[in-house]
């Protein structure tokens, strides 16, 4: 299959980095299509842990060309800091391509993120404070800076000055430092020579690769339930991590896509504010967090934990047109006597198996659980479905049934090799 989208089917942190790395080893291009350094993908290769923020997971596979597409917002300080870190560890970053149309996160938008959160008072969104939202807002307001602007200094300086004037007023009002437009411009322009060799027309690169019969994996940051249009608004990210975002963020048409793979944990987690019907706020939730190492790869924040939510997964399957699910962290559930699965909600006394119409109803939804038998065996060494304990196999089969989408692979540990492939995606 020459074109595969890999995205999050829950609230993020599902293990997309590992899934992208696993599938991407057999592709020609891995294309990051949305978001910025507000999320991290963790990949373990030969026992070595790599945390990627802006770099596509394909950077870790020889022979793969990693591409940062137009839908991504790029903090140049973070990008080159990450490149330097990877190169120091022996990773070849010379293959990296960067869309000329990708937007740049200027220093003032990191401050604007702080200013916006201060202004919200107790009504926090839970932003990571990395300037992602303000940069997407500038993009929509048509005052953003793009990578291509680095090669036109006079125009970039004029854009920075125009954008920064009203922002400095806001920053001063919330006791944050105003910035000098000349200093900001000089800092951004200092990256021009380093950026130039990697700049490309990402849409042309990807479409040409598909025309030649090449294989392309589209890597999504964040997740379906954080989508600006289809997530739990306003507790969402500022981009489209759904399948449609892969198309608009890269510049390819829908007829070019062959598979859409949603990555889902065998349980559920969420970072930041917002509704979470299956959240466990007791000792069981603390235990699940400890077992799964549920702390943000980018922020270090503890993740909220809960049981698997089939309503959310069915919604993700519908919104994205999922053809497959990569189920991750099944090994974390070993040792529980029973494992609950949310198969429906009760909203205002009525049962529903679909996502509630409005956010108020979703926030008040009470999960309807089905208790499945647990298993005690360590499954981290299993490499085929038949090697799993009977109860673990039954759990996976039931998740497949209630999610209404086939489970293509099962993660039983953090490493590349700790995966059970039930149905090959690539020939």
Give the residue numbers marked as catalytic.
13, 41, 139
| Residue 40 assigned as binding residue | yes
* Per-position b or e across 325-364, b if 16+ CB within 10 A of its CB: bbbbbbbbbbebeebbbbbbbebeeeebeebbeeeeebee
| Residue 270 assigned as binding residue | no
| Residue 245 assigned as binding residue | no
Angle (nearest 5°) at CA 100 between 114 and 208: 130
| Residue 16 assigned as binding residue | yes
| Residue 58 assigned as binding residue | no
Q: SS in 3 state form for 230-278?
A: CCCCCCCCCCCCCHHHHHHHHCCCHHHCCEEEEEEECCEEECCCCCCCC
| Residue 141 assigned as binding residue | no
| Residue 348 assigned as binding residue | no
- Contact between 225 and 316 under an 8 Å Cβ cutoff? The reply is yes
| Residue 302 assigned as binding residue | yes
Q: Which residues pair with 421 in a beta bridge?
A: 409
Residue 36, number of CB atoms within 10 A of its CB: 30
Q: SS3 of 348, please?
A: coil
Reported as half-sphere exposure (CB side, CA atoms, 13 A), residue 209 has a value of 26
| Residue 12 assigned as binding residue | yes
| Residue 413 assigned as binding residue | yes
Residue 30, number of CB atoms within 10 A of its CB: 28
| Residue 144 assigned as binding residue | no
- Contact between 7 and 224 under an 8 Å Cβ cutoff? The reply is yes
| Residue 417 assigned as binding residue | no
Q: SS3 of 288, please?
A: helix
| Residue 383 assigned as binding residue | no
| Residue 251 assigned as binding residue | no
| Residue 110 assigned as binding residue | no
Q: SS3 of 176, please?
A: coil
| Residue 187 assigned as binding residue | no
* Per-position b or e across 266-296, b if 16+ CB within 10 A of its CB: bbbbbbbebbbbbbbeeeebeebbebbebeb
| Residue 222 assigned as binding residue | yes
Supply 3's token pair: 């074109």
| Residue 400 assigned as binding residue | no
| Residue 85 assigned as binding residue | no
Q: SS3 of 380, please?
A: coil
| Residue 398 assigned as binding residue | no
Coarse DSSP helix, strand, coil percentages of the chain, rounded to the nearest 5 percent: 40, 20, 40
CA 157 vs. chain centroid, Å, equals 32
Cβ contacts of residue 410 below 8 Å, gap of 6+?
327, 328, 330, 385, 388, 396, 419, 420, 422
| Residue 39 assigned as binding residue | yes
| Residue 52 assigned as binding residue | no
Bind-site residues for IMP: 13-16, 38-41, 128, 142, 222, 237, 301
Q: Which residues are annotated as a binding site for GTP?
A: 12-18, 40-42, 303, 329-331, 411-413
Q: Which residues are annotated as a binding site for substrate?
A: 297-303
Residues annotated within a binding site for Mg(2+): 13, 40
Binding site, by residue number, is: 12-18, 38-42, 128, 142, 222, 237, 297-303, 329-331, 411-413
């Amino acid at each position: 299959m020459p074109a595969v989208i890999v995205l999050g089917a829950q609230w993020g942190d599902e293990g997309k980095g590992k899934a992208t790395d696993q599938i991407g080893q057999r592709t020609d291009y891995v294309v990051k299509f949305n978001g910025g350094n507000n999320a991290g993908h963790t990949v373990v290769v030969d026992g070595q842990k790599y945390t990627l923020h802006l770099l596509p997971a394909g950077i870790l596979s020889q022979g793969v060309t990693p591409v940062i597409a137009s839908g991504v917002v790029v903090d140049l300080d973070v990008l080159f800091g990450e490149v330097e870190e990877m190169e120091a560890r022996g990773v070849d970053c010379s293959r990296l391509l960067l869309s000329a149309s990708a937007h740049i996160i200027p220093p003032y938008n990191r401050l604007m993120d702080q200013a916006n959160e201060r202004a919200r008072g107790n009504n926090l969104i839970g932003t990571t404070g990395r300037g992602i939202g303000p940069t997407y807002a500038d993009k929509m307001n048509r005052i953003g800076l793009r990578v291509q602007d680095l090669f036109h200094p006079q125009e970039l300086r004029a854009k920075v000055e125009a954008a920064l004037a009203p922002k400095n007023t806001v920053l001063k009002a919330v006791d944050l430092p105003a910035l000098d437009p000349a200093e900001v411009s000089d800092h951004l322009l200092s990256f021009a020579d380093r950026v130039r060799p990697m700049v490309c027309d990402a849409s042309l690169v990807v479409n040409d690769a598909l025309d030649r019969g090449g294989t392309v994996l589209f890597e999504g940051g964040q997740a379906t339930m954080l989508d600006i249009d289809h997530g739990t608004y306003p507790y969402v990210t500022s981009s489209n991590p759904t399948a449609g975002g892969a198309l608009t963020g890269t510049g390819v048409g829908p007829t070019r896509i062959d598979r859409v793979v949603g990555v889902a944990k065998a349980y559920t987690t969420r970072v930041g504010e917002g509704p979470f019907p299956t959240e466990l706020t007791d000792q069981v939730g603390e235990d699940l967090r400890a077992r799964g190492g549920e702390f943000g790869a980018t922020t270090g924040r503890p993740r909220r934990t809960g049981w698997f939510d089939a309503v959310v997964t069915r919604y993700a399957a519908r919104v994205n047109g999922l053809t497959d699910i990569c189920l991750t962290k099944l090994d974390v559930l070993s040792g529980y006597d029973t494992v609950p699965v949310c198969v429906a909600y009760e909203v205002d006394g009525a049962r529903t198996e679909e996502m509630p119409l409005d956010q108020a109803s979703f926030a008040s939804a009470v999960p309807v659980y089905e208790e499945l038998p647990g298993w005690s065996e360590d499954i981290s060494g299993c490499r085929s479905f038949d090697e799993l304990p009977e109860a673990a196999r039954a759990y996976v089969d039931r998740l497949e049934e209630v999610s209404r989408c086939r489970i293509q692979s099962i993660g039983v540990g953090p490493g590349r090799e700790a995966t059970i492939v039930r149905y090959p995606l690539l020939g």
